[in-house]
Amino acid sequence: MSDELNLGLDGVLVTESSLSHVDGETGRLIYRGYAIEDLAREASFEEVLYLLWHGELPDADALSSFEDALADERPIDDDVVETLRALAAADETPMAALRTATSMLSAYEPEHPDPEDLDASLRQGRRITAKMPTILAAYDRLRDGDEPIEPRDDLGHAANFLYMRDGEEPDEVAVETLDQALTLHADHGLNASTFTTVVVSSTLADVYNAITAGIGALAGPLHGGANQDVMDILLEIDDSDLDPREWVEEAIDEGRRIPGFGHRVYQVKDPRALILEERSAELADSTGDDRWYDYAKTIEDYLTDEVGLVEKGIAPNVDFYSGSVYYQLGMPADMYTPIFVMSRVGGWLAHALEYRENNRIIRPRARYVGETDAEFVPIDQR
């Protein structure tokens, strides 16, 4: 057994997966063999969920049945709504509210199967996935003093979320944009939150425990919060008297870190950032407000062309444009990471169940560096 220390588990292989592959050198991301560009531009989020969970893209009949099954699971119990109401009154963050509500859903779960029944676990995960948009939309309305809106069964996953949040049927550009963003965030290898979900699931804990743990991992600012940080700097630019180029020059002179640049795996521009950059530009055209796209593009061009960050392997990641995309959709900044969860839950579930097919409880070691011969002193002598 090797005693080599790998902080952060860098380069450590713990399993094999057929779900997604990240090629950081060429900037390529695939889900079960399909390029993310094709899936984001041609497939719905529901098709991507089906692909991740069932290993193949659905035909029309299978997709229709799958969409119906998801729609049937969207409503949440009144007790969950009342808990969300109490959390909104306490000014809890949306991410923490989602974590609490997801855990609470297990009390209303109709199945309590053997933990090794993967089909039943998949059904439980489908219920959680279907209810997350309902939870988030309800919470966002409750904290604004509005009552939740019941989900509809005639709208897709993205469209229904926007409808429940805003109270009106969304336009096509908004639906396409959110649906695409959900696809782009659905899976990304064995990242921190996915690994956390797999670790918990490997103990044969149920899906509710595993996904709640994944939410906790994604809540950390080093993992899920960078898109909010990006939007914060864009708003700071908008409130300043500086143009974006002057602002970023001053920020660098002050030693400030620009969020949305750099990734643990990618050495080139994140392929998801390329797609969201397109969507940000389209939203700017649609709304007639191009500030947020222009600010982000100016910063990227300066850091790329003038500072040369990309040549150093520090390129825009998915968060660099997702923040402005969500903002253009009217989302509060503290909803960005919960929307990330709304998507990534599909990948979490897929990885947890894939690992369970050949399960072995995950149990790494730590190198002990403490004392070995400490002399115990009874309490009355200390």
Cα–Cα dist 374/377, whole Å = 9
Of 157, 187, 319, 351, the catalytic one is 319
User: Could you read off the pLDDT of 91-147 as tens digits, one per residue?
Assistant: 999 999 999 999 999 999 999 888 889 999 999 999 999 999 999 999 999 999 999
- pLDDT category at 2 given cuts 50, 70, 90 is low
pLDDT of residue 27: 87
Q: Is 305 annotated as catalytic? A: no
Q: Are strands 20-23 and 28-31 parallel, antiparallel or unpaired?
A: antiparallel
Tell me the mean pLDDT in the region 219-225: 84
C-alpha 119/C-alpha 245 separation (Å) is 53
Give pLDDT, residue 286.
86
User: Across residues 206-229, what is the average pLDDT?
Assistant: 91
Mean pLDDT confidence for 286-298: 91
pLDDT above 60 for 1: no
The reported pLDDT for the residue numbered 86 is 98
Residue 262 clears pLDDT 80, i.e. is over it: no
Q: How many helices (H) and strands (E) does the chain have?
A: 16, 3
Q: At what angle do helices 118-143 and 45-54 cross, to 10 degrees?
A: 150
> What does the pLDDT look like over 8-51, one tens digit per residue?
888 889 999 999 999 988 889 999 999 999 999 999 999 999 99
Q: Which two three-digit tokens encode residue 121? A: 């676990």
Three-class secondary structure of residue 193 per DSSP? helix
Do residues 27 and 270 lie in contact, with contact meaning Cβ atoms separated by under 8 Å? yes
pLDDT on residue 260? 82
Q: Categorize the per-residue pLDDT at 265 as very low, low, confident or very high, splitting at 50, 70 and 90.
A: confident
> For residues 302 and 293, is the Cβ–Cβ distance under 8 A?
no
Give Cα 24 to chain centroid, integer Å: 19
Among the four given CATH numbers 1.50.10.20, 3.30.430.20, 3.40.50.11540, 1.10.580.10, the one describing domain 45-222+335-356: 1.10.580.10
pLDDT digits (tens, 9 = 90+) for 149-173: 999 999 999 999 999 999 999 999 9
367 or 66: which leads in pLDDT: 66
CB 328 within 8 A of CB 284: yes
289 is an active site residue? no
Mean pLDDT of all residues in 189-216: 97
What average pLDDT does the structure give for the chain? 93
Q: Of 21, 23, 166, 223, which is the active-site residue? A: 223
Between 102-106, 176-180, 278-282, the lowest mean confidence (pLDDT) is in 278-282
- At residue 307, the pLDDT reads 77
- Which listed residue (157, 185, 188, 263) is catalytic? 263
> Cα separation of 191 and 17, whole Å?
13
254 φ/ψ angles, rounded to the nearest 5 degrees: -85, 0
Measure the CA–CA gap between 102 and 20, rounded to whole angstroms: 25
Residue 303 has pLDDT above 90, yes or no: no
263 among known catalytic residues: yes
Q: Domain spans of the chain?
A: 45-222+335-356, 226-328
Instruction: State how beta strands 34-35 and 28-31 pair.
Output: antiparallel
pLDDT, position 336 = 93
Mean pLDDT of 354-362: 96
pLDDT at residue 228, rounded to an integer: 85
| Residues in contact with 64: Cβ distance below 8 Å, sequence separation at least 6, in sequence order | none
10 Å Cβ neighbour count for 343? 24
Instruction: Give whole-number Cα distances, 244 to 28, 288, 316, 347, in Å.
Output: 30, 19, 16, 36
d(CA 243, CA 352): 46
Sheet holding 34-35, edge to edge: 20-23, 28-31, 34-35
Percent of the chain surpassing pLDDT 70: 99
* Three-state DSSP state, 256: coil
Q: Does domain 226-328 have CATH number 1.10.3720.10?
A: no
Nearest of 85, 82, 87, 45 to residue 66 by alpha carbon: 45
